[in-house]
Structure 1
């Protein structure tokens, strides 16, 4: 027996930072929201993968931990009383006879909404695992794909592998607590924010980080789940062993859209194509924002997702309040709307 339909103005799929800000933007336009997320908590990757990771490109915060950012966003949208449906995945998205959308979840929840905003991040995500013999015996014990607590690495010899933002940011952060930080990368150029790379270079000059370049992971040493060393090699086959207690491979996330791929939306390389100015997808009344959305020149930043959340909310307004003219005002003059 199916559950009764719950009616709302906007259904938001994804409760990560961009989804949370979308609640606020919708609330500012007097639109009520129901929010669905497969995780059993809000925050998306920020909460599940790296709650203590410092984020440097949030306006007004020189640095803010991911978990703190989620706390601030949750506090910001709380006054609009969003309804959260956590620990459940959207499995159905169908058009109704009156041109609304019916969102159905894996637990039987049914949400009828005038508009849908997809803020599902990178969809279902998992780490890209290095192809090393015996990897499984060390995973979860001395090989980790995310950092939940910095203090877990206090006094340890840590090898970080990768050349992106996660590798660079964690090298900088863990250098404050670890006994030794070694960064393994196949080339001297890093795909990370220039300011972060500059900070890492300075820590290297100070002897707090050791750069192992140009090398790649080639093997593991240890027993009973505990690493004693990480073997690395150059492209020419020159090998050496790094004495280590922990390996943190940061090679990005593998992306799986899951049921999203079956919703009939126009896709491009596992992302949802949108119109940049409105965040509209190929289906009327469905908008996409954040990492899952793509258009020419897209910058994958939380900051970009925040701007897209505002655009999507304004684009959804005429669907929720048909015939009503939206007189846009700045929040400093308009204040918080009442009665949402």
Structure 2
């Protein structure tokens, strides 16, 4: 790893999957770049929220855990020795296309000719259920919003609350580890991939998962932060007690673009509209890729973030090299630049 330079061709804000692949694409075009992330390690949500969660829609990988995907992306960029500014939050952006200056919360200044924002959901945190005494159970780990190690849940009585992909995926992933697993949702219909719904029906029929529908979280019971039961209520107010050691509420993330929203580009509900063919934002020279970028027909898939990273890198090339035509070659022909 090289020391962070004072100047670079491309500053990549966000070191999740899309940011890491953007670094690879820039390097393949011989564009110098720097990775910047507020977290202490690369990987974004993959590393911070679901390192052991299988991902099934990465091409050529039938299943890959979040941490494994990040490790492979790091291996891919390793030959380029790309500098990183970790634990740095970009607070300010000044200048114009071809001549930007970024300032971070650590007092670091970096000049760049172009910017790629790969900030995922921006600053993120869980949507917490409005339950009395919740904090005491959070402090002991009886209530958790992320699963970092599946082994921590072996032999435990688990209540998962939510009706989306995260709730479904973790219910299916943890069912073989748990002593008992409840899946609570306010209605009987779940929002998930058809294959996940099929697997859920099989697990319910086999007694591995108990669906508790239509119910909502009502109260937590226990002492000194040790959870003993989760009380749920149906739409008529009738309650039921579920004996449990841990509650995993998956109600999505509260996201915030933070300082990015004040840089003068168009934003829309914590996302940044971009031109689909180049991923350039309304601020010339600033590009956005991955979950933070939006346009008609956008799919929030990691593989789409990879494609956007490639388009942004190619659109940046003439900014950095205005007098040079880019003669694109496939990687099978050109290999990895020395």
Q: After TM superposition, is the score higher than 0.5?
A: yes
Corresponding residue number in structure 2 for 1:184: 184
What secondary structure sits across from 2:80 in the alignment?
coil
Corresponding residue number in structure 2 for 1:17: 17
Corresponding residue number in structure 2 for 1:208: 208
Give me the whole-angstrom Cα distance separating, in 1, the residues matched to 2:303 and 2:163.
22
2:118 matched to 1:119?
A: yes
Deviations 1:38-77 (A, max 9, x none): 0010001111112111111111111111011110011111
2:50 matched to 1:62?
A: no
2:3 matched to 1:7?
A: no
Give me the whole-angstrom Cα distance separating, in 2, the residues matched to 1:79 and 1:189.
47
Where has structure 1 moved over 6 Å in runs of 4 or more?
none
Corresponding residue number in structure 1 for 2:297: 297
Trace 1:1-340 onto structure 2 (pairs within 5 A). Answer: 6-95=6-95, 99-141=98-140, 142-338=142-338
Contact 2:278-2:312 within 8 A present in 1 as well: yes
Shift of 1:5: 7.0
Shift of 1:333: 2.0
Over the aligned positions, Cα root-mean-square deviation in angstroms equals 1.3
Shift of 1:329: 2.1
Contact 2:98-2:112 within 8 A present in 1 as well: no
What secondary structure sits across from 2:111 in the alignment?
strand
Deviations 1:6-55 (A, max 9, x none): 11111000001110010111111111111110001000111111211111
Give me the whole-angstrom Cα distance separating, in 2, the residues matched to 1:210 and 1:7.
56
Shift of 1:317: 0.7
Deviations 1:150-193 (A, max 9, x none): 01000000000011111111111111211111100111222222
Shift of 1:242: 0.6
Contact 2:98-2:319 within 8 A present in 1 as well: no
Give the stretch that moved more between structures: 53-62 or 310-319. 53-62
Contact 2:122-2:270 within 8 A present in 1 as well: no
Shift of 1:132: 0.7
Deviations 1:125-162 (A, max 9, x none): 11000011111110142000001110100000000001
Give me the whole-angstrom Cα distance separating, in 2, the residues matched to 1:23 and 1:210.
44
Give me the whole-angstrom Cα distance separating, in 2, the residues matched to 1:60 and 1:273.
30
Give me the whole-angstrom Cα distance separating, in 2, the residues matched to 1:104 and 1:224.
44
What secondary structure sits across from 1:25 in the alignment?
helix
What secondary structure sits across from 2:103 in the alignment?
strand
What secondary structure sits across from 1:228 in the alignment?
strand
What secondary structure sits across from 1:11 in the alignment?
strand
Shift of 1:255: 0.8
Shift of 1:109: 1.3
What secondary structure sits across from 2:6 in the alignment?
strand
Shift of 1:309: 0.5
Unaligned residue ranges in structure 2 (runs of 5+)? none
Deviations 1:299-326 (A, max 9, x none): 1111111111111111111111112111
What secondary structure sits across from 1:284 in the alignment?
coil
The TM-score normalised by the length of structure 1 is: 0.96
Contact 2:221-2:229 within 8 A present in 1 as well: yes
What secondary structure sits across from 1:299 in the alignment?
coil
